[in-house]
Amino acid sequence: MARIDLSGTGVSRGFGIGPARVYQPKTVARVRSKIPSTDFESEQGRLDDALAASRLQLEQLISRQKPDNKTAVNILKMHQALLDDPGLFGAAREEIEKKSISAEAAVNWALRNAHQQFSKISGDKFRERIRDIQDVGKRVLNNLMGVLGGSLAELKEPVILLAHDLAPSDTASLPPELVLGFATEVGGPTSHTAILARSLQIPAVVGVSNLMQQVEDGDLIIVNGFTGEIIIHPETKTEALYREAQDEFIRQERYYATLSSLPSVTVDGHPVMLLANIELASEIRSVHNSGAEGIGLYRTEYLFMGRSSLPSEEEQYQAYRNAAESMKKRPVVIRTLDIGGDKFSHALSMPEELNPFLGWRAVRFCLQNIDIFRTQLRAILRASVHGDVSLLYPLISGVGELRQINTVLAEVKSDLEQEGIPYNPGIKVGGMIEVPSAVMMVEQMAGELDFFSIGTNDLIQYTLAVDRGNARIAHLYQPLHPAVLKMIREVVRVGHEHNIPVDVCGEMASDPLCTLILLALGVERFSMSPVAIPNIKALLRHLRMDQARALGERVVEIPTAEQVMDYATRVGRRLVPDFPWEQTKIAR
């Protein structure tokens, strides 16, 4: 049959080659709506039974995860927590009595209500929360109506799984030994489905338009988790080339594994610090396995998400202490609450905003919710005696705002001293440089901070006025735009002049081509997803720093992002010819 080429977004590295298995989950039939008003207790009992069955199913899914797959366990536990959310199924229970409707109708109402609330707010995290709620809601509805699961449990031989969508719980149930790869018509790189694919090390592509119309069970499929390519009915020659690439990828992964205990140093002996970004304490194991030198960004807002009440000071302290002790005196940079924007918590009263990324978020929120902020600062300071803990403020826009925050920090330190509670009085304090105004004021902020951390994701978005979640203008989101590179160069210049460390903790840090350019601009500390560290370390250990720095003098003078990418790619291939540059996200 004729070859068919499709494309989407690669979200989990690797190549999958094998026969297609089209997944069509069973759907919930139309539900009855009205019930006699006297039957509401019976319907509430049915809902309670369905919730109990859903909890048990999720617990069974959790028990089937491998011991080191904490990512899947935490996502499934978050789904369990949603079952107890008073704003979701608690509200559905009340609707049964209030409107004399069936349990199924009440759950559907609650799901629609949640969808309406979250869909008003832009951002990948909000879209993903909708998918989590729909996944849990579908499970409850299936249990209410006695609908059994789909065909995933029936897999008997290795396949490439194809679906319109895979819910997070579907993905968590996949047997990695039988699923060679998967592709879906919807989804994005930050979705829980994508995160789970990476944790299970299954090559995956999402966002493939018209996929289900082009494929049938048994068709030979190639999934390229790097580029997002899907090939249906590949020619024999193409299949052979991809099997060679698959073998080479496996060889590379084995080689990267040997680097975990080796230092991240260039050929000419220049050390470069590679740190890890984490969101959950359970990811600390992957930090150790990756060979990271510490935690460069601990995103604390995830302690506040997926729950109906705020975490206590003690709960936060234990989480931060665990991270500090687990790192055994290696750096742990804890970012204060960056709620708002694309991160939302039921436990906090966050207003609807037309543009939340320009609204009430991060330190702006904290300065108007001092009690919440002080509680977190107390917990971080208490944890600082258990390791090399630093404090990082997000979304700083200028010196005045920075001084307000430091005043609160000084007050919290004073309170701890009066209470006789130990903390590290010399804890280092850093600021995230992710707003153009912060770049313009970085010279003045140098006297107020111990280190700078460049958050490239927001810096690019704010500098170029581009919402990367908007498909119509996503092509304008250009990490290698000359304006972005000049801003990074300025921050590095000021940092070097004032002997202040500068690190990059956005997505640019995990892309080899961007890393090459950032090194050329003088960045010497990088923080990234643990999974990206072996690849970046391999690049560093085959690179001469003196040659890389010569690139920096040229890239800031090139007028377009496309030209920067082409020039840097040519230089990269010349400096490190054996490196797999075709796998870089920016350069492909």
**What is the distance between the alpha carbons of residues 93 and 106, in angstroms, rounded to a whole number?**
7
Question: What are phi and psi for residue 265, nearest 5 degrees?
Answer: -140, 145
217 within 8 A of 21, measured Cβ to Cβ: yes
Selecting among 79, 386, 505, 514, the annotated active-site residue is 505
pLDDT of residue 541: 93
The series of mean pLDDT values per 10 residues for the chain, 588 residues long, is 90 93 72 71 89 89 75 81 85 88 89 75 61 86 75 79 87 86 85 80 91 93 93 95 92 83 92 90 80 93 72 92 93 87 48 56 82 94 97 92 93 96 96 94 94 92 78 78 95 96 90 93 92 89 89 88 92 90 57
Contacts 24+ apart (CB under 8 A), 82-85: 82/132, 82/133, 82/136, 82/306, 83/51, 83/54, 83/55, 83/58, 83/136, 83/140, 84/308, 85/308, 85/346
Helices 482-497, 545-555: axis angle to 10 degrees equals 120
pLDDT of residue 39: 77
The 229-232 sheet, strands edge to edge: 4-7, 229-232, 220-224, 15-22, 159-163, 179-184, 204-206, 9-12
pLDDT of residue 588: 35
pLDDT of residue 347: 45
Per-residue b or e along 224-259, where b marks 16 or more CB atoms closer than 10 Å to that residue's CB: bbbebbbbbbbeeeeeeebeebbeebeebeeebeeb
550 within 8 A of 567, measured Cβ to Cβ: no
Q: Is 366 part of the annotated catalytic residue set?
A: no
| Distance, first Cα to last Cα, the chain | 28
Among 578, 574, 547, 563, smallest CA distance to 268 is for 547
Enumerate the β-bridge partners of residue 220: 19
Residue 377 burial by CB count (10 A; 0-12/13-18/19+): exposed, middle or buried?
buried
Q: Is 505 part of the annotated catalytic residue set?
A: yes
- The SS3 assignment for 204 reads strand
**What is the distance between the alpha carbons of residues 11 and 183, in angstroms, rounded to a whole number?**
10
pLDDT of residue 68: 65
Q: Which two tokens stand for residue 12?
A: 């989990």
pLDDT of residue 302: 76
Parallel, antiparallel, or unpaired: how do β-strands 4-7 and 179-184 relate? unpaired
**What is the distance between the alpha carbons of residues 285 and 288, in angstroms, rounded to a whole number?**
5
Residue 9 identity: T
- The SS3 assignment for 34 reads strand
Q: How far is CA 493 from CA 486, 490, 497, 501, 504, in A?
A: 10, 5, 6, 11, 14
- The SS3 assignment for 180 reads strand
CA torsion through residues 201, 207, 212, 216, sign = negative
Per-residue b or e along 511-544, where b marks 16 or more CB atoms closer than 10 Å to that residue's CB: bbbbbbbbbbbbbbbbbbbbbbbbbbbbbbbebe
Among 273, 272, 385, smallest CA distance to 324 is for 385
Q: What is the DSSP string of 129-161?
A: HHHHHHHHHHHHHHHHHTPPP-SGGG--S-EEE
Selecting among 192, 346, 386, 481, the annotated active-site residue is 192
Q: How far is CA 223 from CA 230, 370, 487, in A?
A: 5, 49, 37
**What is the distance between the alpha carbons of residues 198 and 12, in angstroms, rounded to a whole number?**
5
- Give the CA angle between residues 356, 362, 363 to the nearest 5°: 130
- The SS3 assignment for 450 reads coil
Among 358, 372, 447, 357, smallest CA distance to 402 is for 447
**What is the distance between the alpha carbons of residues 144 and 28, in angstroms, rounded to a whole number?**
10
17 within 8 A of 242, measured Cβ to Cβ: yes
Question: What are phi and psi for residue 275, nearest 5 degrees?
Answer: -115, 170
Among 231, 239, 78, smallest CA distance to 169 is for 78
**What is the distance between the alpha carbons of residues 129 and 36, in angstroms, rounded to a whole number?**
34
Q: Which two tokens stand for residue 185?
A: 């018509």
pLDDT of residue 414: 97
**What is the distance between the alpha carbons of residues 272 and 264, in angstroms, rounded to a whole number?**
6
